[in-house]
Amino acid sequence: MAVKIYNLDEEQLCNGIKELDPSTVALERAATLKERIGEYLKAKRAIHTGFDLAREYAEAQVKILDCLGGWETDWNNWRWQLRHRVTDVDTLATLLPINDLLRQELTEVSRHLRWAISPYYLALIMCDQPLGAIWKQAVPSLEEVTDQSGSDDPMDEQWTSPVPGVTRRYPDRLIINVTNQCAMFCRHCQRRRNIGLADQHLPYPQLSRALDYVRSNREIRDVLITGGDALLLDDQALDWLLQELHRIPHVEIKRLGTRAPVTLPQRITPELCAVLEKYPPLYINTQFNHPLEITPEAKRACSMLVKAGAVLGNQSVLLRGVNNNPHVMKKLNQELLKLRVRPYYMFHAKNVRGTSHFITPVDDGLEIMEHLRGFTSGLAVPSYIINASGGYGKVPIAPNYLIGRSGNRLLLRTWEDKVISMEIPIRTTIGRE
């Protein structure tokens, strides 16, 4: 591709503006911008959200309630949802189109790995096409047990845990893993080694030690409670834990990591919100990966959390066959903003054993970032992150916009791929004047 360099020095800019009529230029520019969005607008129409599939969802809900023996009021009860997670091939096969071969594969995988799908998320799978983006995140595939590449603990969390339950790899913040429980075990889970055979919360003495660690390390100003899914603790346990953290003067902010708004939105109850409300500032990061997960229920859950004062963010995972498509990701991030969820991170899938079928080339991620920046609201642009092995932390990866520097001249590439040379002071010595 030929690179055209636009020399926008002040002098030239002034000359240019003198020669041309600004309103003509502005109109031409507006027409060009309108053209730039055409392809997306066309693609966007074919990408559905959960709002578009209300009828399919209602039908699925009836079938699932019928199969599991529940009432419509049960559906909105998170404990019912949790108790009735589908965990066996026979039940799944009565609700999803599963042929003999698939059934054999599922049976084989089930001998080695735990899987569980909330009735709510199962309804979303039934709205999606077989083996589609929603299905792939929830229903196990044979590749999970045949894959021999990757590692069980690619982030080396076991090597960055100063006390049980705590992961610390940054100076001022840490993670407490409070449970291994989830409403659904995502097939791409980075902590699948922790899923094990049974649901287990971090035992009280260890939780207590983790809190002591935070108390005695005064540089820790940000504590992230995750798992598993932080919102699978009950209201009472969360109340206690958040209160303990709230009482530590040097803990400035608390964060919860949860996929409940996506896999179990019924968990967001007025009672839960009454607890969360008491401990600001609270940041909640969730993981929407596809526009089909944006449903009326998810919206209601997010809206309740916002009203309880939480600041919502999204940490999507870039997954092959799920969302490694610029249009899908753009729509997802735009839809999230409508729910008042700010796209925060897009993670490159980690090299976890049993998940290599999900891993995309880095170029997929870069292409998505390239399609977001400038083309849509900056608010809809997450940071693209690769987790360094060895537990060395998150590394931001971005398309290159600074393509050269020399003297006081920068060569910049804009979102439209225009290369602009600009005269601008560049600090070349260390220190401040």
Ligand X SMILES: *Cc1c(COP(=O)(O)O)cnc(C)c1O
Positions that interact with ligand X (CB under 6 A): 167, 169-170, 173-175, 224, 394
CB neighbours of 106 closer than 8 A, spacing ≥ 6? 89, 92, 93, 98, 139, 140
> Residue 350 in 3-state DSSP?
coil
Min dist CB 222 to ligand X, Å, is: 7
Min dist CB 156 to ligand X, Å, is: 11
Give 167 or 179: the residue with its C-beta nearer to ligand X.
167
Give 190 or 325: the residue with its C-beta nearer to ligand X.
190
Give 174 or 312: the residue with its C-beta nearer to ligand X.
174
Min dist CB 300 to ligand X, Å, is: 26
The CA distance from 426 to 237, in Å, is: 52
Give 192 or 371: the residue with its C-beta nearer to ligand X.
192
Min dist CB 218 to ligand X, Å, is: 17
Structure tokens at 76: 């909105």
Structure tokens at 16: 């240019």
Sign of CA dihedral 16, 21, 23, 24: negative
> Residue 42 in 3-state DSSP?
helix
Min dist CB 183 to ligand X, Å, is: 21
Give 50 or 257: the residue with its C-beta nearer to ligand X.
257
Give 373 or 394: the residue with its C-beta nearer to ligand X.
394
The CA distance from 80 to 96, in Å, is: 21
Residue 165 pairs in a beta bridge with none
> Residue 397 in 3-state DSSP?
strand
What is the number of other CB atoms lying within 10 angstroms of the CB of residue 404? 12
Min dist CB 418 to ligand X, Å, is: 31
The torsion of the CA quartet 150, 151, 157, 160, rounded to 10 degrees, works out to -100
Where do we find the tokens 């003999």? 100
Min dist CB 392 to ligand X, Å, is: 10
For ligand X, which residue has the nearest CB? 167
The CA distance from 322 to 61, in Å, is: 23
The CA distance from 190 to 323, in Å, is: 17
Give 396 or 431: the residue with its C-beta nearer to ligand X.
396
